[in-house]
Amino acid sequence: MGSDTRTRILDAALAQFVSRGVDSVAVTDLERAAGLSPGSGSFYRHFRSKRDVLAAVVAREIGRAEARRSSIEPAADLKTEYTRALDALIAMRPLIAMLVREGTALPDIDRIYQVLADGGARIDADDLRARMTAGVIPQRDPDGVATAVMMSIVGYHLAEQFFGNPVGVDRDRFVKALASLVGT
């Protein structure tokens, strides 16, 4: 029962922090959203403070992102890789939304950066380097290309979330064009 309540609090906190911001959410709001009696102190059986639950939410979302990344086998083609990257951004939307809203005030910001940006770019650069070595794509600066690809994918994702298909280019056309630019 305790872990179920803890999970409900984490889920409620994630939803509340994303929609309203950390500072706008009271512990009683979290208790109510988790199905607990507001003001009963039930929250404090699981977390010491709102900052404590925020840290737990961030840690859980980072763990989910890492688990998704490690469970995916490399794709044979870049179109599949880039489609997966867009899908991963959708799955990470709550963490990204908190990052946008709270910025560097989020706990474990260095770990978030490492997982969302640096780690992903390094994995992508290693993949591109292997494809270049194998002669599958032209030899270029793999770190530079991986960074350009990552920024393109993130930019497309954000534009898609806010405006729909940017310039009328749907996801499939975008992925095909990006893979073509990289060289496949």
Task: List the chain domain ranges.
Answer: 1-47, 58-182
Per residue in 25-82, pLDDT tens?
999 999 999 999 999 989 999 999 999 999 999 999 999 999 998 888 889 999 999 9
Fold (topology level) of 1-47: Arc Repressor Mutant, subunit A (1.10.10)
d(CA 105, CA 122): 25
pLDDT confidence bin for 115, thresholds 50/70/90: confident
Q: SS3 for 139?
A: coil
**Closest C-alpha among 7, 104, 20 to residue 53:** 7
Q: Amino acid identity of 19?
A: S
Rg (CA), the chain: 19
- Residue 142 is encoded by which pair of tokens? 């793999």
d(CA 84, CA 165): 17
pTM over 0.85: yes
